[in-house]
Chains A and B, each alone.
Chain A
Amino acid sequence: MTDFALDKPGKSRRPDLLAYATLSLISAFCAVPFFWVLLASLDGNAQLFLSWPREWTLNNYVRVFAEEDGARWVFNSLFVVGSATLLVMVLAGLGGYALSRTRAWWKQPFLYAILLIRVLPPTALVVPLYKILLTLNNIEGNLVRIFVGGDTARAIMRWIGFIDGYLGLILVLATMQLPLALWIMKTFFDGLPRDYEEAAVMDGATMLQRIRRVLIPLALPGLAAAGLFAFISAWGDFLLPLILLSSPELQTLPLGLFRAFLRVNTIDYGFLAALAFIYLMPAVIAFGFARRFLVQTFSGGVKG
């Protein structure tokens, strides 16, 4: 009995070691670039090649926020990408539910049609998109100027403008991310038995109670996955902000990074590394946050 009990862990130790060794190697491989960037950003005299910093300094970070408009870029990026992600989660949650439950004949054609948005390269869409947005922007601008004068109008358009305004970029980023999110949520709701909702109906839950107390909690893992993909993909988008934004106050982080790269005659690796590290953080944090929901097992009520 005792022998048997001791035997088991002993036997599995070797494969365990192997698994851990492999996993460590993979994580080291993944982590090296992060450390590289972190090291370089803390190096007073960073070069293209990795070296142990001889003088440690936070100076690069200070420069990002004090000399450059770093705080503004971070805010712009977080605000635009965060709003787009929120919009995607709401629309994909509602739309995915509807697409999963409907028996309409246009369901399949619609699902494949929206994938086209994703399949077409954004670069090819840029010109027609710009034209449409510009037209909308002009109409909107004229409308706004009916009610308020020059400077106020410009301030308002910075928020709700389609070109060189937050709203336009948020809508376009959300549109790009919506198809995949809709597919994720549709597939997710397909796997969620109707029984949950019907049980709630039998218990006397209103439509709102059903959504808030049953569907949203059940859909959280799916929403987290859809939101994570949307956030990371929109966070990394460079082309759309480059084209749609021109005011310096609206610049996002990747644009700031890009302009800093171009502007100085000699490349300042420490400064760039600090910017890059700041740029990395939200994606890592978003992943860490969503992971909790992604791994949440679902075995409980779904399968017996």
Chain B
Amino acid sequence: MINLRNVRKFYGALEVIKGVDITVEDGEFAVFVGPSGCGKSTLLRMIAGLEGIDEGDLILNGKRINDVPPDKRGIAMVFQSYALYPHMTVAENIGFSLSLKKVPVAEIKRQVGDVAEILQLTDYLDRRPAALSGGQRQRVAIGRAIIKKPSLILFDEPLSNLDSALRVQMRAELQRLHRELKATVVYVTHDQVEAMTMADRIVVLNKGTVAQAGHPMDLYHSPDNEFVATFIGSPKMNILPVTLSRPDAGKLRLENADGLAISLADGGANVAVGEAKLGIRPEHLKVSLGGQGDFSAEVVIVERLGVETYLAVGSPKDPIVVRAEGDLSIRPGDRVSLTVDLSACHLFDSNGLVIRRPQTL
């Protein structure tokens, strides 16, 4: 189990990690996800020991390891560039850490053989990295990590060098490996799809802080704030500025300039009236041609994929995206009615923090 407690990092006067608390359980596949520059790599490198920790505690299996040198932490890292040594064969690359420890040659050969077996690299042990495909290089990099039998494996955007087809394949392969090795993994990516498909636990980072951590579906269904709400899910959640009022006790009324008018039970939460934001995912808006809806809008863009149809409606500058099942023969310029799925919409205050309404969500 790895524990970060109020961890901070400064580059000069610039604070890049701003007091982060994270827990990853044994055997978990944890993904740190966030936009570029939010401090994911810095955090990972602090766990690895390649960057110092300015404040806070880093605890691995109950031991504080802030000041333990990188190779003594029992942590392995797979680099974004793979960092395979071009002058060594695959076998030498995988066995490098053992040869540094002066492990007997026969023993290295045996362990490299075992690792190569797991990673299906047995036929490539005598090749140089230059003679391997992207996916094979990736596996060599993983082999170099797992031969150390680490209690934690770190990955820094390991799939970003691969083309998209291979990326899907490697995603499955990494999950298979994780199941077989029963290793604890911390995996960094800026791609929320990677995070959603692979993670047991997602930690969403924003500007050096944890925006939210939890199971992927928790983040999808009940985001804590506007940042997580719009970061998780594709296409991203629509955010509509609304005015909140309370016509009767226990009822909330939402209105906006486009004629949207819906009522929600406020569920006993003491919601402040005034400016707020309504978050609604594209898949939670129901579209109909004519007929009744919560509001109507003009269609700007239509993307017909056959199995589903995406519509952009409303103002062309800042449209609302709608996802509809199946093929709809709607053309730009048509007027459509939209119905909001009240059970799946989110309310955020003007600071972007979620307004929880316990009984209705």
Contact = CB atoms under 8 A, between A and B. Distances in A.
Contacts of B128: 300
Interface in A189-239: 193, 195-196, 198-205, 209, 213-214, 217-218, 220
A125 to B, nearest CB: 40
A198 B79 contact: yes
A197 to B, nearest CB: 9
B84 A301 contact: yes
Contacts of A150: none
A202 B81 CA distance: 15
A302 interface: yes
B269 to A, nearest CB: 48
Given A202-B48, A203-B96, A300-B129, A214 B86 contact: no
A202 to B, nearest CB: 5
B144 interface: yes
A302 B148 CA distance: 23
A204 B83 CA distance: 15
A121 interface: no
A217 B85 contact: yes
A218 B82 contact: no
Interface residues of B, number: 33
A301 B134 CA distance: 10
A304 B82 contact: yes
A298 interface: yes
A49 to B, nearest CB: 51
A299 B84 CA distance: 11
A299 B134 CA distance: 11
A38 B84 CA distance: 47
A62 to B, nearest CB: 45
A198 B86 CA distance: 15
Contacts of A298: 86
Contacts of B70: 201-202
A218 B83 CA distance: 11
B153 to A, nearest CB: 11
Given A202-B71, A204-B97, A209-B100, A302 B81 contact: yes
Contact of B86 (A195, A200, A202, A218): A218
Interface in B138-170: 138, 144, 148, 161-162
A297 interface: yes
B100 A217 contact: no
Range of interface residues on chain A? 20 to 34
A199 B77 contact: yes
A200 B137 CA distance: 17
Interface in B69-114: 70-72, 75-77, 79-87, 96-97, 100-101
B81 A297 contact: no
B140 to A, nearest CB: 9
A179 to B, nearest CB: 28
A301 B81 contact: yes
B174 interface: no
B122 to A, nearest CB: 20
Given A203-B96, A205-B100, A304-B161, A196 B85 contact: yes
Nearest to B131: A300
Nearest to B96: A203
B146 to A, nearest CB: 13
Nearest to B93: A301
Interface in A274-302: 297-302
B130 interface: yes
- In the complex, which of the residues B71, B77, B87, B162 has the most CB atoms of chain A within 10 Å of its own CB atom? B87
B124 to A, nearest CB: 13
Contacts of B81: 193, 195, 301-304
B312 to A, nearest CB: 35
A202 B77 contact: yes
A300 B52 CA distance: 31
B50 interface: yes
Interface string A15-38: 000000000000000000000000
Nearest to B163: A304
B100 A203 contact: yes
Nearest to B45: A198
A301 B48 contact: no
Nearest to B145: A202
- Which of B72, B82, B134 has the most chain A CB atoms inside 10 A of its CB? B82
21 contacts: A193-B83, A196-B83, A199-B79, A200-B96, A201-B71, A202-B70, A202-B71, A202-B76, A202-B77, A204-B101, A213-B100, A218-B86, A218-B87, A297-B130, A300-B129, A300-B131, A301-B81, A301-B84, A302-B86, A303-B81, A304-B81
Which 3 residue pairs of A and B lie closest in terms of their CB atoms, listed nearest first? Answer: A304-B161, A204-B71, A300-B130
Given A198-B79, A220-B87, 12 more contacts: A193-B81, A195-B82, A199-B83, A202-B70, A202-B71, A203-B97, A203-B148, A300-B130, A301-B83, A301-B84, A304-B138, A304-B162
